[in-house]
A and B are shown apart, each in its own frame.
Chain A
């Protein structure tokens, strides 16, 4: 990369969440990602920026989308990428998260991308290991690269965040995507609304500095961006909503409800979608309003930017030096 890029971009040597990032760091990551959007659209998508570096994808929860996005990002930057899907069987053998991670750490990776079902798992690994840790989703806590890719998508379409009204709809309670997006959007000057039944909103959610709505049409009124969340059926340990059909009737996004939003409002979804539960296919597939495919494209660029930014700390601090 150009010498200008060799400047350290992030204060931390890990990316564990959006909450700890500054506005400047977020903007710098988005700027850097723009260069990778261009690279990814060219014929030769590869650089040798991370040549010789090893990246391990450690996924304790299955995820096709995020894992392949990180894998592509690492490979396009020239790193050696190892995908580790940690099945529940190795957990059943009694190996703890720390055991698994320290074993991998002994193989001297430079970067570890981790997804885990427990909040704080990435933070725990960052404390115990001596490589860069990227949080690819920890429990209901944060999913920083998702929020960054959403931000990149929004910025490319709307030019900025100041004054935008963003409505985040659905299962906020269990959603790490929602938490990361709330932090990011508020930092960048957007207004955030949460729309959900009371059972899917955390207690004291209003103390985040967001507006709370329990009615889709009221919450969507005048919104520039509509972010739908996946109804995380696999996380439901109790009955949070009585049925999916009732949920779709009142909180699923269809063209009728979308009319309440600002004309030309963008519809986003972190995927994978539950069609007919939180979003109607007619909206999801409407290329006039849906930017869901674009989010996936931005995902690779953002992850390249994150790996690039963190690798600068590696080179400078001599982390992982033998």
Chain B
């Protein structure tokens, strides 16, 4: 029996094709069967399930290209299942999970484990990245070919920077054989060792161990030279400084195959938000000077920064309730990714469709995922967004297993109302929640 869902009266935004019209969309057996401005306009569709979108935005489900969970190894922080609950509530239909687990995802059987666990327990799609080096030790490259066959969408050492340039050069050259995407984290490991915040006046006032923000651009510059040398496909998982962005801009001008992302918190927060040692503001890389978030917003608006990620990194209360320098890095972000990103639209910095593109179509293209589009035949991964609904983020209402959000008490406009994965509703917001 064919299962059909008719969406009518929606503002359809498909950033991949530039479509932004009032209309309807038909889902059949989990795929988009039809879409158009006149669909279901006049007559009530005769389908069993009709969803009146009441003019809200219907867009491709979001793809979050940087998510840490605790599965396997530290399920008390987050499981694939609990992360998927949070993702669904955030309008995210695909989470790309990092290999920094215990054990590290550096074996084809472990990629398989993630995919099977996800299929069995998660509400949203899970796309694993595999480690670039074994045990994330930065010494020996992993079986890039076999891991890719097993389903790894990219290769990364997650929140670690590969210190050894020779190892990186070889891994890049080898990966290009398989057209595999390499994803890098840019923090010079020796300059940032032991550091908790960005060097500067504020760090001095707090007396905290600090690293210069140039630690990012230094690695970006090095990595790009190696990318040019090897012809690999390369993506910077998240950058946070204007200096790094300038380096990437000049590489893009030279035609280097590089893309980059930015974490939502680096768009909205700066080092002053650390306040009096608020450990929920301790992220990696650290929050930057007041000028950097503005540069990041500018980068997203101009398209120089390709995608926005949550950098979701759940941490248990006991590792955050510590003196700042001892506290764990990381912030949860699945449920705030869309609200923070919509801020760019509300501030008049970027068109709504442009913001959604950085959250769906572009990450899909970079990662080679069959998602992020409203094209006929594509999987019906959809999000219904009220872009204007005002709300205050309450820590207690987060679905994530960990609650370490830097945005508690913040006011936002706009969030997901309903989320569909393969045509199945995985989240529906009860009013006011």
Residues of chain A at the chain B interface (Cβ within 8 Å): 19, 96-98, 116, 118-121, 123-124, 128, 138-142, 176, 179, 202-205, 207-208, 237
Which B residues are in CB contact (< 8 Å) with A142? Answer: 207
Which A residues are in CB contact (< 8 Å) with B325? Answer: 118-120, 139
Residues B300-343 near A (CB distance < 8 A): 318, 321-326
Whole-angstrom distance between the alpha carbons of A97 and B325 in the complex? 13
Q: Are B321 and A96 touching (Cβ within 8 A)?
A: yes
The proximity string for B residues 207-234 relative to A, scoring 1 for CB distances below 8 Å and 0 otherwise, is 1111010000000000000000000000
Interface status of B377 (Cβ within 8 A of chain A):
no
CB of B300, distance to nearest CB on chain A (Å)? 28
CB of B188, distance to nearest CB on chain A (Å)? 14
Q: Are B204 and A205 touching (Cβ within 8 A)?
A: yes
Tell whether A97 pairs with B324 under 8 Å between CB atoms, given A120-B208, A123-B276, A203-B212.
Answer: no
**Partner of B322 from A96, A179, A207 at Cβ < 8 Å:** A96
Q: Are B201 and A208 touching (Cβ within 8 A)?
A: yes
Which B residues are in CB contact (< 8 Å) with A118? Answer: 323-326
Which A residues are in CB contact (< 8 Å) with B208? Answer: 119-120, 139-141
Tell whether A179 pairs with B323 under 8 Å between CB atoms, given A208-B201, A237-B194.
Answer: no
Interface status of B159 (Cβ within 8 A of chain A):
no
Which A residues are in CB contact (< 8 Å) with B318? Answer: 96
CB of A168, distance to nearest CB on chain B (Å)? 14
Q: Are A120 and B204 touching (Cβ within 8 A)?
A: no
Interface status of B113 (Cβ within 8 A of chain A):
no
For the complex of A and B, the 4 pairs showing the least CB-CB separation, nearest first, are: A118-B323, A120-B277, A141-B207, A140-B207
Interface status of B51 (Cβ within 8 A of chain A):
no
Which A residues are in CB contact (< 8 Å) with B199? Answer: 202-204
The proximity string for B residues 276-307 relative to A, scoring 1 for CB distances below 8 Å and 0 otherwise, is 11000000000000000000000000000000
Tell whether A138 pairs with B205 under 8 Å between CB atoms, given A96-B321, A123-B276.
Answer: no
18 sample A-B contacts, Cβ–Cβ < 8 Å, listed by A number: A96-B322, A119-B206, A119-B208, A119-B277, A120-B206, A120-B276, A120-B323, A124-B277, A138-B207, A139-B325, A140-B207, A141-B206, A141-B208, A202-B210, A204-B200, A204-B204, A208-B201, A208-B204
**Partner of B203 from A96, A116, A123, A202 at Cβ < 8 Å:** A202
Residue of A with least CB distance to B319: A96
Tell whether A123 pairs with B204 under 8 Å between CB atoms, given A98-B321, A118-B325, A139-B323.
Answer: no
Looking at chain B's contact residues, is the secondary structure mostly helix, strand, loop, or mixed? Answer: loop
CB of A164, distance to nearest CB on chain B (Å)? 23
Whole-angstrom distance between the alpha carbons of A98 and B318 in the complex? 9
Residue of B with least CB distance to A175: B207
**Partner of B201 from A120, A207, A237 at Cβ < 8 Å:** A207
Which B residues are in CB contact (< 8 Å) with A96? Answer: 318, 321-322
Q: Are A202 and B204 touching (Cβ within 8 A)?
A: yes
Which A residues are in CB contact (< 8 Å) with B212? Answer: 203
Q: Are A116 and B205 touching (Cβ within 8 A)?
A: no
Which A residues are in CB contact (< 8 Å) with B322? Answer: 96-98, 124
Tell whether A119 pairs with B207 under 8 Å between CB atoms, given A96-B318, A97-B322, A98-B321.
Answer: yes
Tell whether A124 pairs with B323 under 8 Å between CB atoms, given A119-B277, A204-B200.
Answer: yes
Q: Are A19 and B205 touching (Cβ within 8 A)?
A: yes
Which A residues are in CB contact (< 8 Å) with B321? Answer: 96, 98, 124, 128
Q: Are A179 and B207 touching (Cβ within 8 A)?
A: yes
Residue of A with least CB distance to B194: A237
Which A residues are in CB contact (< 8 Å) with B207? Answer: 119, 138-142, 176, 179
**Partner of B210 from A139, A203, A208 at Cβ < 8 Å:** A203
Residue of B with least CB distance to A124: B323
Whole-angstrom distance between the alpha carbons of A179 and B208 in the complex? 12
Given contacts A98-B322, A203-B204, A203-B212, 17 further A-B contacts (CB under 8 A): A116-B323, A119-B324, A120-B208, A120-B325, A121-B323, A124-B323, A138-B207, A139-B207, A141-B206, A176-B207, A179-B205, A202-B203, A203-B199, A203-B200, A203-B210, A205-B204, A237-B194
Residue of A with least CB distance to B324: A120
Whole-angstrom distance between the alpha carbons of A116 and B318 in the complex? 18
Which B residues are in CB contact (< 8 Å) with A19? Answer: 205
Residue of B with least CB distance to A99: B318
